Structure 1
């Protein structure tokens, strides 16, 4: 006797017609993430420092109802207004996917100065906390659940390679923060998870990293290559969707086997 099984819902279950905020949206991975959510029928608020680039991205996404918003996330006083503006533009928000980050490579740690430290910590760690909180509190006040997906890096575990000690210190902070916020907001039905990509073929990765050094890193990856942004994006969609309804406080490793934990 043939047993019939219900067809599993597609990637992005529960996201069609719902609002998604994507920060760092015009970056290498950010574009792929914004497009992946739009492909699922979500309405994307593409957020980046440059308003014109964010708006151009929004206009290029499949479907309708998308918007591009320019904002400097270092200004934490702007976060509540950003969440309100996004919701007014794309409708009730279901998820925040936070990719915005800054990397200042210094191959000799003696060259790291206070300005390098402050710039990366302010963008990567401080802004993450305050934007996560602003988003979660907006959902809590509205009496509905949702999801936050933060982007960390393989460097949260390894400490990083190629002059990125400060950057990866902030990424370690994001993992710890994600766990703390997951506990904080679980009772409100707000899930908080993070994604830890390994080597992804983007301009940020190659900027300031000698080609021979990059190739040496690629050779350590069991799958033998860098990821494309499009191979990372579906994990963010999954974590924001109904498929991940029982997942919170997790950090998903997407490193081609470079890290195994």
Structure 2
């Protein structure tokens, strides 16, 4: 029996998407620090600081590339035990009337469509392996609160992602595959701060009971928990990592 003090991540075979981003990079570092073997991927080259990992470039908007990425991970690591799906995109607009059809399509393709094809492919591989696994995807506090102004489309993709992962949890639970999401609030990353007015950022911090922005490593800690042996009876859940901005 695994000890409650053993996270079970040493030598785990892990795929991290969105690894060039602030949260994705922190998640990659956290898994390597835990002793896991990691394949890290993003749309472009990864930072050199993410060594030692196996780095792959993948456009997850293409469903066949999602399936290929799982196959590439299996080839590189001999199997797959964990997927930390952190890839996502936000098209922030000043007003909802500024949102274009392209804005809609890009965010739904990256945040929702790619999530389905990638997580399904990984779950099917875990099912074939017969040893179960962990799928963890990055949602957002917006899945619950809704998006402000021009970010309503982004929030809709994250609401869809939460619902999708609940369905996957029900489907793959009999194969011992758990499926969960993390919902970060205001975390100090380029995605949050890019094109964000100072007064808006100050109002966000003021609305957060802990009175500060979160750090990527704090989201990474939540991801590692859901990927670990300590979360063996947690599935279909959304872990709120918002500093109290949301309370549920």
Q: CA deviation at 1:141?
A: 1.6
Aligned to 1:92: 79
Q: Answer whether contact 2:140 2:158 (CA < 8 A) is retained.
A: yes
Instruction: Summarize the Cα distance change of 1:8–1:146 in structure 2 as closer, same or farther, 3 Å threshold.
Output: closer
Aligned counterpart, 1:203: 190
Aligned with residue 106 of structure 1, among 93, 96, 110: 93
Of residues 99, 118, 121 in structure 1, which corresponds to 2:108?
121
Matched with 1:20 is: 14
What does the per-residue CA deviation read over 1:13-36, in whole Å, with 9 as the maximum and x for residues that have no partner? 111112100000110001110000
Matches within 5 A, 1:177-192: 177-192=164-179
- Of 5, 11, 28, the match for 1:9: 5
The residue aligned with 1:172 is: 159
TM-score by length of 2: 0.96
1:37-76 aligned at under 5 Å gives the runs 37-50=31-44, 52-53=45-46, 56-59=48-51, 61=52, 66-76=53-63
* RMSD value, Cα: 1.5
Q: Larger Cα Rg: Structure 1 or Structure 2?
A: 1
C-alpha separation between the residues in 2 aligned to 1:26 and 1:252? 23
Matched, 1:138 2:125: yes
Q: Partners of 1:179 and 1:224 in 2: how far apart?
A: 31
How many residues were matched structurally? 247
Q: Is the 8 A contact 1:36 1:233 kept in 2?
A: yes
8 Å contact kept, 1:45–1:58: no
Structure 2 distance, partners of 1:139, 1:125, is 21
| Per-residue CA distance 1:118-140 (angstroms, 9 max, x = gap) | 00000000000110101001111
Task: Tell me the CA shift for residue 90 of structure 1.
Answer: 2.4
Q: Which runs of 5+ in 2 are unaligned?
A: none
| Contact in 2 for aligned 1:46/1:57 (Cα 8 Å) | no
After superposition, what is the alpha-carbon deviation per residue over 1:113-167, rounded to whole angstroms, capped at 9, x for unaligned? 1111000000000000110101001111222200100110000011123531111
Residues 21 and 97 of structure 1 are in contact (CA less than 8 Å); yes or no, is this contact kept in structure 2? yes
**1:163 and 2:153 matched:** no
Report SS of the residue matched to 1:226.
coil
Conservation of the 8 A alpha-carbon contact between 1:31 and 1:57: no
Cα separation, 2, equivalents of 1:97 and 1:132: 10
SS of 1:260 mapped into structure 2: coil
Q: What is aligned with 2:25? A: 31
Hey, what's the Cα distance between the residues in 2 that align with 1:81 and 1:58?
A: 22
TM-score by length of 1: 0.91
* Of 155-164 and 126-135, the range deviating more from structure 2: 155-164
Question: Aligned equivalents of 2:145 and 2:133: distance in 1?
Answer: 30
